[in-house]
Amino acid sequence: MSLAELSSPIAVKKALAECDRLGRDEFLRRYGFHAAKEYVLQYDGREYDSKAIAGVAHKFQFPDLGPLRSGKFSGGISAGAAAQKLSKLGFAIVGISQGDGWSLAECEATVDSYFDCVRLQSEGKNFIKTQVYKEVASRLNNRSHKAVEYKFQNIEKVLEEEDLPRLGMSTKGNYQRLLRPVVLDYIREHPGIGSLAPHSKPPEKAWSEAKVDPPTGRASRTSNNAGEGRKVRAQVGKNDAENKKLGRRGEEWVLELEKQRLTANGRTDLATKVVWVADEEGDGAGYDIRSFDDDGAETYVEVKTTNGGKSTDFFITANELAVSDRTGKAFRLYRLFDFSRDPRFYILTGPLSSKLVLTARSFSACCKG
């Protein structure tokens, strides 16, 4: 547990709100800090004790770990100290220059607008990016609409690096360090944004165009705090699993893909027999679609859908694992990714227990009696 883990501007804002609620004296007393002697955080016309705010912000980013104690970290401006950490997260600290980069407020406003566009895209609504850039620029500190466009491309790059859902526009690297935590904070605070179901089923693709090889393992990340990216991706995976509409869109897409594959391979007779089991019988079968290999052998297809990238986590039930073990190579898990903007998939054949890294998230429980 260290200050180096703190990466969330939202967590800092929650600590500021906690100080406002309790009052400065009670805030310092409750969390065991002294008043700042030199480096004061200025926000929204008020001043705060920077070390205390940093220590309490840790509690809001990591609820299971709680706040940092005063004696566990430095409050100055040396590398890794509280005032320097808060400055890098975009907050004004007396005695530390903010430089010429975009302010925290500017980054947040631009990230908000970017994800507004993600929502519009998922709803099938048209928007003109140039008009969006101009509208955002009008609310910033003398930024041009071209600068806003570049920032959108920076946001796209952060999301691409983290394998998170995105608009699908061109990317620009070399972004300011502050942008990544602002983007991750947004998704953490709006966990459903990554799992929005498209307004209609995406257009079908040819099998050869859409199918890719499975990932060989978690790709390395460029983030200085890669663990936070993993947590956000896991949250996206959880929301994917809970979003029935997204799941149905994916199943519908694979249903047509299976029919297309069989028809293209001269098995129209089998294509007419493909069944969307989850639609007709519910989710209890342990798979979603009953299909066929070209030789007529039955296959059992489970579909997992995400708007995130290829390495986004997915959730699988004990029943699905059991069916994959029982049916062996006849079981096919279709992992759809980038579904809303550019659907592709890879396939894992059963049994799956030997092909997945399984992490327990919850347990069914009852009293022993």
Supply the CATH number for residue 333's domain: 3.40.1350
178 and 252 housed in the same domain:
no
User: For the chain, what percent of residues have pLDDT higher than 70?
Assistant: 94
34-38, 76-80, 133-137, range with greatest mean pLDDT: 133-137
Tokens of 176: 């300011």
The residues pairing with 48 across neighbouring beta strands, listed in sequence order, are 41
62 and 110 housed in the same domain:
no
| Across 323-343, average pLDDT | 95
Residues written for the chain: 369
Contact 84, 38 (CB under 8 A): no
114 and 179 housed in the same domain:
yes
Per-residue pLDDT tens over the stretch 345-362: 999 999 998 889 888 766
Handedness of CA 359, 210, 349, 250 (dihedral sign): positive
137 and 40 housed in the same domain:
no
∠ Cα 5 10 11 (to 5°): 50
Residue 101's pLDDT is 82
111 and 185 housed in the same domain:
yes
The answer as to whether 130 is a domain residue is: yes
Is the predicted pLDDT of residue 204 greater than 60, yes or no? yes
Residue 228's pLDDT is 76
Per-residue pLDDT tens over the stretch 56-98: 999 999 999 999 999 999 988 787 899 999 999 999 998 776 6
279 and 345 housed in the same domain:
yes
How far, in Å, CA of 352 to CA of 356, rounded?
6
9-23, 76-90, 181-195, range with greatest mean pLDDT: 9-23
Which 3-state string (H, E, C) describes 231-285? HHHHHHHHHHHHCHHHHHHHHHHHHHHHHHHHHHCCCHHHHCCCEEHHHHHCCCC
The answer as to whether 63 is a domain residue is: yes
Residue 248's pLDDT is 95
Residue 234's pLDDT is 83
Residue 221's pLDDT is 46
| Across 195-220, average pLDDT | 84
Confidence of residue 222 (pLDDT cuts 50, 70, 90): very low
Which domain, by its residues, includes 23?
Answer: 3-93
344 and 266 housed in the same domain:
yes
122 and 166 housed in the same domain:
yes
| Domains contained in the chain, number | 3
Is the predicted pLDDT of residue 223 greater than 50, yes or no? no
